[in-house]
Chains A and B, each alone.
Chain A
Amino acid sequence: MFSLNSIAAFVDAWLNSTFSPATALAFQFIIIGLLAISLFAVLGLVLVLMERKVSAYMQIRLGPNRVGPKGSLQTVADTLKLVSKEGLTPAGADKFLFNLAPFIVMIAAMMLLAPIAFARDFQLWDINIGVLYITSVSSMAVIGILIAGWSSNNKYSLLGAMRSGAQIVSYELSAGLSVITIVLLAGSLSISEIIHSQADGWWIFKGHIPALISFVIFIIAVTAETNRAPFDLAEAESELTAGFHTEYSGMKFALFFLAEYINIFIVCAIGSILFLGGWMPFHIGNWAAFNHIMDYIPSSLWFFGKTFFLIFVIMWFRWTFPRLRIDQLLNLEWKYLLPIGMINLLLAAAVAIGGWHF
């Protein structure tokens, strides 16, 4: 079987048999780095194209259809355009911080890749505090966004960055609470153990009401955390031109843009891992035959299928709901989502202690 895990094991065995252990380790680091970067590039291209196509079909348009078959190479052309553009630094900007900010956002996005399991036993770093790690690293991106807004020396950038920062910091709480619900049910912080605990059914099905509520809260919170519509008032075009990256151009803008889409992918991957079982195929309790048939579908296909489904849902939001005002946004978080999340956490604790989940 050509599963990702066996390919990785084969490469590992080949490197270790050909080179000394230290050299093999160095090669593995290089391979992982290259894979991560190429995954990012491919994801960026695919997600931007997907966004444009999905929004086009929702508005009964065709979307990009000139470059390549059915417009599939449109984003490649866009990337080439961005790369060839001049990177401007506005007058009065803090040059070092202005150039540093996109990389902070990008590094935070890259570090989030480490504990994510892409397929059965295919994971870079199975750290035993995986969920905490994700929470702590994702809080780094706020600093990059705030620096970007401040160092541009532009009031629209600053306002956009502050809105974005307030939004991310507030909605992080709700996302964290809904993650903790699943941690309570699964009894572990490690990503691989959470996935293995869903072998007889995904948490959204066997976690009763608390898992459902926390799934809804999670989706709302991550939509806000990634600054997507209807929570995109950090870069509300009609009010703030483009938010914190107004002054960015060329490759640095491309990095922000890429990081935005990578973050969408990562939060959807986390959502699919916590609630929809990650790479775990669709299993029902002790229906051995059914489960066995489901196992024939490769685990990486399950993971990417669920993740892209969640991404589609988030893109769907964009064309369904009108944008919120900033006070409505903060009210939604502090007066509704957070109290509901806390009560839901109590409910989940009762379910976990009583052992009422399946």
Chain B
Amino acid sequence: MTLTVFYLLSALSVFSGLMVVLSRKAVHSVLYLVFCFFTIAGHYLMLNAQFLAAVHVIVYAGAIMVLFLFVIMMLNLNLAAEAQKTPWIKISAVILSGLMLLVLVASVKGAEELSAAQPQNDIGLVKNIGNILFDKYLLPFELISLLLLSAMVGAVLMGRKEPQPQNE
């Protein structure tokens, strides 16, 4: 039962991931990516990582993808046809990524079967995540807030209109 659900979710996420790459319109890509993120949230739920699933949906579907949609709608990208790469580059791109997949899969195939450790299933609950986050990882947590602050400053600085063109 769980295996069937897993395969279904995986097929959906791979399909939507492919459509992100292959869609002609940028807005369609964004929507497929949103769908892909929902299936990944489903995977998190199956792993019983509830907090992660909720935060994933809030951050990705609620904030990041809305930002993408905003920029695409603001720039009105659909009117201008996207420049395409030459067929040679396209073919080599597909081959390259296929080779990378091959290497990744082969390296896992060669490894010994991972023994199923006793999974402690309530590891993903908010309480346990909070305990770890504010105990063991307190310093990275504070540093990440600095990263967010600097990103915010940078985005505001770049996003605003320049007062007047500078003379060179």
Contact = CB atoms under 8 A, between A and B. Distances in A.
Interface in A117-145: 127-129, 132-133, 135-137, 139-140, 142-143
Interface in B50-105: 50-51, 54-55, 57-58, 61-63, 65-66, 69-70, 73-74
Nearest to B62: A139
Given A128-B50, A147-B31, A135 B63 contact: no
Interface residues of A, number: 26
Interface string A214-229: 0000000000000000
A185 interface: no
B31 A136 contact: no
B54 A135 contact: yes
Contact of B74 (A128, A136, A142, A162): A162
A143 B126 CA distance: 27
Given A158-B73, A162-B74, A129 B54 contact: yes
A150 interface: yes
A93 B18 CA distance: 24
Contacts of A142: 62, 66
Interface residues of A, dominant DSSP: helix
A135 B73 contact: no
A133 B54 contact: yes
Interface residues of B, number: 21
B103 to A, nearest CB: 36
Given A147-B31, A158-B73, A165-B69, A140 B51 contact: no
B34 interface: yes
Contact of A169 (B25, B63, B73): B63
A172 B62 CA distance: 10
A189 B31 contact: no
A97 interface: yes
B14 interface: no
A168 to B, nearest CB: 9
B61 to A, nearest CB: 6
Given A142-B66, A146-B69, A165-B66, A135 B58 contact: yes
B73 A132 contact: no
B146 to A, nearest CB: 17
A165 B54 contact: no
Given A139-B61, A139-B62, A189-B126, A165 B27 contact: no
A139 B63 contact: yes
A162 B73 contact: yes
A143 B70 contact: no
B132 interface: no
Contact of B70 (A136, A147, A165, A189): A165
B61 A150 contact: no
B149 interface: no
A139 B51 CA distance: 16
Given A97-B31, A128-B125, A143-B61, A150 B73 contact: yes
A296 to B, nearest CB: 37
Nearest to B72: A150
Interface of B: 25, 27, 31, 34, 50-51, 54-55, 57-58, 61-63, 65-66, 69-70, 73-74, 125-126
14 contacts: A94-B25, A128-B125, A136-B55, A136-B61, A139-B61, A139-B62, A139-B63, A139-B66, A143-B34, A143-B61, A143-B65, A150-B69, A150-B73, A169-B62
